[in-house]
Amino acid sequence: MVFIAPTMIALLIAVGTLRDSGALAWLAEQIKPIAQALHFPPELVPMGLLRPVSGSGATALLTGIYKDSGADSFLSKCASVLAGSSETTFYAITLYYSAAGIKKIRHTLFSALLADFTALVMSVVTVSLLMS
């Protein structure tokens, strides 16, 4: 545990800074027009961006989606599927690679973020297919 502590502290500080600076909100606003053009629910973009970084932040967004659109809406179902099928990528890589003493993540980060993006897209596709 002593070897993991510095890495975990750095990750938590980085997540807090990223969230509190408004960088994620700014990035979500930049992506929303593209999402709308692709007929993708733009309300899922912030959750898709935050989920790989912070599980608790994504859960807070999920709760907000439930309150705003109702727990049984299309958007809420997509957000629920996304929450269940994606991972807090940066936390998992930091924790497990630090515990194992691995310093080079090689292709892990790219592959994990690609899997999170796939979960984002497939959550909408799956709910669309099941609700039609």
Q: From the centroid of its chain, how far is CA 63?
A: 14
Query: How many beta carbons lie within 10 A of that of residue 46, not counting itself?
Result: 21
Q: From the centroid of its chain, how far is CA 121?
A: 12
User: What percent of the chain is modeled with pLDDT above 70?
Assistant: 97
Q: From the centroid of its chain, how far is CA 44?
A: 10
| Whole-prediction pTM | 0.82
Per-residue pLDDT of the chain (132 residues; tens, 9 = 90+): 566 777 778 777 877 787 788 887 888 889 999 999 988 999 999 899 889 988 888 888 899 999 999 999 999 999 999 999 999 998 899 888 988 888 888 899 999 999 999 999 999 999 999 987
Parse the chain into domains and list their residue ranges.
Answer: 5-131
| Residue pLDDT, tens place only, 99-129 | 888 888 889 999 999 999 999 999 999 999 9
Whether residue 56 contacts residue 91, with contact meaning beta carbons closer than 8 Å, is answered with no
Please give the Cα distance from 107 to 29 (Å, whole number).
28
